[in-house]
Structure formats: structure tokens, C-alpha cells
Structure 1
Amino acid sequence: MKKSSSDLLKKLVIYFSAIIFLIWTILPLYWMIITAFRPEKEIYEGLVFPREISMNSILAIFGFGEEYKTVGSTLTPYMINSIYISLIVMFISTLLGTLGGYALARIRFLGKDVLSTISLFAYVFPTVVIMVPIFLIFSIWKLINTPIGLILALLSHT
């Protein structure tokens, strides 16, 4: 069967759009990574490809090197805390989501349809709507600025 020129044009437009979208998506990521490895003097020159690659910025973030040893200059404890909290939230969220999804899909029980409708309806509300009630509840429970409070706040979206 012979392809018509309209089919060829349609494919060409689709491929061209996909390439433009890919460039639009990948370019900021490329720029972020390349900028992280550039020397400081080269960052504002606007070159697409760096003339030299330097690890000084990366070392400064983690507090390595003599010239970077100042009070509060390292992000390492904050990164460790973020990884710690996110791993706990990920584990609990995955566990609860798996068990809840299995129960809703496989087990027959009274109120199954109501429960699944309520859980889907919760996604309609933006996060901002529940911020004040969560803050008030956490204030009463003395969970403000605690790791447990942060974990529970992040799990409230699950």
C-alpha cells in the first residue's frame, strides 16, 4: 500500500514536534549539569560547551577543601536529613499504597465503593486547602519542627 503525502507530512510534523519538545525538556537539565562543573569565571559567559571542567563548586557544596571550611558552609547534614525523611516517607507511602490498593482491588467488603470514591475525591482538593488544619493539629500535638511532624505532613498527601 502506497503512503500518501499527507501521511508523510503528518509523521514529519509529529517527529519535528517531538524533537522540539525533547530539546525543550533536556536543555535546562544539560545547562544545570554543565554549570555545576564550570569554573566560576565561566558561568556568565554563556558558552554552550565549557572550556574547562572544575569540581570546585561540587566540593564547596559538600564542604571539602581548605578554602571552603567555614561555619555553615556545607549542605551535607541537610542532604542527609532530606534523604532520611524522604526514604521513610517513601517506604511508608509505598507500603500503605500497596496494601490499600490490593484491598480495594481484590477484597470485597461493605463500603468499598464509598472508600475508593473518597480516596479519589481527596485528589480534587489542592494541598493548600489542608495546610492550615494540618498546622493547627500539629501545633496542638507539638509536632511543629520535628521529623515526625514532617513525615506525617508528607504522608498526608498519600
Structure 2
Amino acid sequence: MSSEVATRRPRGAEGTSPARDEPARRKPKRGGSWRAALIVYGTLALLSVPFLFPTWWMVTASLKPANEIFAFPPSLLPDSPRLDAYQRVFEVQPFAAQYLNSMYIALVVTLGTLAVSSLAGYAFARIRFPGQNALFLVVLIGLLIPSEVTIVPLFQMFNEWGMIDTHWPLILVPILGAPSVLATLIMRQFFIAIPRELEEAARLDGLGQFAVYRRIAMPLARPALGAVAIFTFLHSWNLYLEPIVFLSTPDKFTLPQALTHFVDAYGGPMWDVQLAAASMTALPVLVFFIVMQRQFVEGLAHTGLKG
């Protein structure tokens, strides 16, 4: 009898569990979720219009004749699309050579900046030496000096070296100038966030300082390298002041400098040709950013972990 009393359960308690005693979670209403998504995406679409419309107008206007570009009221689509302006781009100037100039200069500057900034950033983040912080502060001061201030002494220096009307100033100045300083700062912030246990484990395996940089730090720094590559490529591709100072031969022009030379016999702008050239100029930048945007976002997110 006593065993029956001991094992007897309260009525209605059979098959119960703690999970059943908890209140059932309410599932979100599907109607509310799609309404919220519709509001969010609709808002983002409206906010993107001011950024997308200039590009849309540039591309569509390049397909219009010159008298239709500034017609009122303006049209979002050309009445009769034509590609004559794209053909005339290569007839007015050596646009293919200028395109190649900008492409190879931007690639060389990007690779050189990645090499210099990663080495310098790793040294400032991982190697302890006297005056380290003071030297890094001196390097950062380079960000405060406008390029217009240094353009005259740079011209005199490159003139003495016989590099005027060559591409060397457009390569050396960005790699060793302010863009490389900003890249060094980003790489330093990323390398500081890497746990020291990884470096110590590599040292126990017999790796030297440069081997740790090459085999441990660099593979982990891909997001930061992607961010540096994007803004370095964009800066070099859009460079305007230095080309007009150092270059004078049309075959050696870069694209930003070349865009200002599409004029008619009276010195007036050839609007349809300029817009066609500008559309082709913007294409590599758009493709490069689409390919590298994930690394760009991750790099900016990781470089602020530690100061």
C-alpha cells in the first residue's frame, strides 16, 4: 500500500514535461514580416535614387545625340539609342592607350601600396623598438598635409631626376605618400587585433619574424588587404592633379586628364563624347568594387577592434 502511495502521481500529471509547462512561443505573423520587409526595401530604394540617378543619366545621355541631352523636359530613356559617341571617343584621342595607362598604373600602385603598408603596419603592430609610437605619430602627420602643398617640391624633385612626362611620379607618390599612410594605419589596427598566442605558437615551431608575417599574419589579413586594395585602386584611378602636373603628352595621359580634352574645334565640350568616355571610365571601378565589396566591409569592421 505504501509503495502505491509513493508512486502515485497527481491526476493529470502523466506524460507532462517541463517543456510543456512553459508557455508556447508565439510564431511571428507572416503578414507582418513581409510588410516590414516591404517598408525597409522600399525606403532603401528611395534613398538610393540620388546616388543611382547621376550614373543612370550619364549612361543614357551617352546614347543620345548632343541636341537631345539637354532637351526640356528631360527624358530618362533615349528616343533612338545610338553608339556613335562611343566610336568617336577613340577617334578624338588615343583613348585605348590612355585607358591602358590608367589600368596598369592603378594595378601597380595597388600592389605596391599593399606591400609597403602591410610591412609597415606589421612592424608598428608587432615589433617593439625605441621610439615606436613617436615614429608612428610622425608617419600619421602625412595625412594632415594636402597634396597641393607638396606638388611644387615634388615637381622640382622629379624634374631633377628626369622623370617629368613619365608615369613614375604617378606610381611613386601614391605608394610612398598619403594613401600609403592611411593603408598603414588600417593594416596596423588589424595586426594589433590578432591574438599573440598565434605568433608565440609559430615562434615555438621555429618560424622567424618575416616567416610569421608571411605565413600567419598575411593570410589572416585578407579582409584588411581587400579594404586597402579598394580605396587605393579608386584613389589611383581617379587621380587628377598629379597627371596634369607631370604629364604633357596625350599618349601618356590617364583617364581623368583625358576626359577634359574632348572638345570641338571651338573649344566647346563634346557632351555626348565626354559622357561616353566617362561611362567607360566608371566601368572598371564598378566591377572592382562589386568583386571586392565583401572584403572591404569586413576589413573596415575588423580594423577598429583594438587601438
Mark yes or no: TM-score above 0.5: yes
Q: Determine if contact 1:62/1:75 at 8 Å carries over to the other structure.
A: yes
What is the CA-CA distance between 1:41 and the residue it aligns to?
Answer: 4.5
Please show how residues 63-142 of structure 1 align to structure 2 within 5 Å: 63=91, 72-142=92-162
Give 3-state SS (helix, strand or coil) of 1:79's partner.
helix
Distance 1:73 1:133 in 2: 31
Alpha-carbon displacement from aligned partner over 1:4-52 (angstroms, at most 9, x marks no partner): xxxxxxxx9xx96x66653222211111111123344432322122223
Give 3-state SS (helix, strand or coil) of 1:83's partner.
helix
The one-letter code sitting in structure 2 at the alignment partner of 1:37 is: L
Counterpart for residue 58 of structure 2: 32
User: Higher Cα Rg: structure 1 or 2?
Assistant: 2
Q: How many residues align?
A: 136
Give 3-state SS (helix, strand or coil) of 2:135's partner.
helix
State the TM-score, normalized to the length of structure 2: 0.40
Matched, 1:58 2:86: yes
Runs (5+) with no aligned partner, structure 1: 1-11, 64-71
Give 3-state SS (helix, strand or coil) of 2:49's partner.
helix
Q: Give every structure 1 segment of 4 or more consecutive aligned residues whose post-TM-superposition deviation is greater than 4 Å.
A: 18-21
Matched, 1:143 2:163: yes
What is the CA-CA distance between 1:81 and the residue it aligns to?
Answer: 1.2
Distance 1:88 1:79 in 2: 14
Are the structure 2 counterparts of residues 19 and 120 from structure 1 closer, same or farther at C-alpha, using a change threshold of 3 Å?
farther
What is the CA-CA distance between 1:61 and the residue it aligns to?
Answer: 1.9
Alpha-carbon displacement from aligned partner over 1:55-110 (angstroms, at most 9, x marks no partner): 222232234xxxxxxxx544111111121212111110121112211221222222
Q: Determine if contact 1:61/1:76 at 8 Å carries over to the other structure.
A: no
- Of the two structures, which has the highest relative contact order with CA contacts closer than 8 Å and spacing of 6 or more? 2
Are the structure 2 counterparts of residues 126 and 76 from structure 1 closer, same or farther at C-alpha, using a change threshold of 3 Å?
same
The one-letter code sitting in structure 1 at the alignment partner of 2:77 is: F
- Identity score, percent: 28
Are the structure 2 counterparts of residues 127 and 73 from structure 1 closer, same or farther at C-alpha, using a change threshold of 3 Å?
closer
Runs (5+) with no aligned partner, structure 2: 1-38, 181-307
State the TM-score, normalized to the length of structure 1: 0.72
Q: Determine if contact 1:85/1:151 at 8 Å carries over to the other structure.
A: yes
The one-letter code sitting in structure 2 at the alignment partner of 1:122 is: G
Counterpart for residue 7 of structure 1: none
The one-letter code sitting in structure 1 at the alignment partner of 2:145 is: F
Give 3-state SS (helix, strand or coil) of 1:50's partner.
coil
What is the CA-CA distance between 1:134 and the residue it aligns to?
Answer: 0.8
**What value does the CA root-mean-square deviation take over the aligned residues?**
2.4
